[in-house]
A = this chain, B = another copy of it.
Amino acid sequence: MNIPAPYLLYLGAATDPLSIKTSRGVADWRRELCVGQRRLPGCDLTLGLDDLSYSEAVARGAKTMILGEANAGGVLSEVSAREVVAALDSGLNVASGLHQRLAQHPDIRAAAQRTGQLLFDVREPPADLPIGNGRPRPGRRLLTVGTDCSVGKMYTSLALERELRRQGRLADFRATGQTGILIAGSGVPIDAVVADFIAGAAEWLSPARSDGGWDIIEGQGSLFHPSYAGVSLGLLHGSQPNALVMCHEPTRTHMRGLPGRALPSLKECLLANLEAAQVTQPEVVAVGVALNTSKLDEASARGLCEQVEHELNLPCEDPIAMGASKIVRRLLECFPDGTAAGAGMFSRCRIGTAARAR
């Protein structure tokens, strides 16, 4: 799946900011690929892009409309289905992260056939995924892991990619969820693959690489989330990560969707991830902790980061509010240029061992 850019972002008649989080993700992280937004009457939200009709979007070079508005259930409304048909008829491809597949709607299927435009259902996994084999492969890979779902793994991954690129390094975000895939233009919806293929899908997503660049792989779920830990473990094994960054939302009172179930401690979660990762990458190291501090004031946020740094001997920052430079610095210290992955690491990179010893 390679979704042709640039994009027109569809907001529909949305009034709930959460319902456009996919469009917002693309606008936040790939603004240079967005030529405008398409809103219907009643929509009082904006991404700050120009409001365009389909023909205007095509005139400005748009190749694909991104259906970045989701109502409850991830189902396509009839209004939106008519808009999709109009977009196809105007010469746009259409990409969707909805649970319901575009091609299942008869009018949309007919319009795609009539126009020759492409439909992208990003929740549809590739057809020929391999079974994972765990064989060591060259390349440098960083995986974001978390104490829970929805703690900022995608935003952290993208912030790390941005910071590495800013410093002139090769780095590529590898997407594993629908919003990430729409941002990257490619990826694999890891939670939608058949269970036997989770690790294989992760191997497929981050193949052998020899240009010295980093694959920054978007983590999913948590080893401690009783609904999704299998996905997290298969992704961890298949990613064969050289480096882990741990993501956490410090005000979360219980595991997402499971009132009464406490989150693991950062240390417990970090050690469990390092141990599990060693099955396919014995030299794995942790290089930082990313906190989502959006619900804290700045002083509390900075205090908490310092506390975590002291506790775990790892750089800790909020990659959105504070930037990702401290984590990237540690990453580059642990993996200096010109060395094979994992070689030449400073002893301070052996955080797993150090944290365990305490």
Contacts and interface: CB of A to CB of B under 8 A. Distances in A.
Given A193-B194, A194-B192, A195-B192, A231 B229 contact: no
A272 B272 CA distance: 9
Contact of A199 (B229, B257, B275): B229
A237 B280 CA distance: 22
Contacts of A229: 199, 233-234, 237, 276, 279
Interface in A210-248: 223-224, 226-235, 237-238
Interface in A274-299: 275-276, 279-280
A28 interface: no
A190 interface: yes
Contacts of A279: 223-224, 226, 229
A336 interface: no
Contacts of A275: 272
Tell me the interface secondary structure of chain A in the complex. helix
Contacts of A228: 132, 196, 199
A133 interface: yes
A258 interface: yes
A323 interface: no
Contacts of A258: 133-135
Interface string A96-137: 000000000000000000000000000000000001111100
Interface string A185-197: 0000011111111
Interface string A236-267: 01100000000000000000011001000000
30 contacts: A131-B227, A132-B227, A132-B228, A133-B226, A133-B257, A133-B258, A134-B227, A190-B195, A192-B195, A193-B194, A194-B195, A195-B195, A196-B231, A198-B230, A199-B226, A199-B227, A223-B276, A224-B279, A226-B238, A226-B279, A226-B280, A229-B234, A229-B237, A229-B276, A230-B231, A230-B232, A230-B235, A231-B234, A233-B233, A272-B275
Sorted from nearest, which 8 A-B pairs have the closest CB atoms?
A230-B234, A134-B226, A198-B230, A230-B230, A191-B196, A132-B227, A233-B233, A230-B233
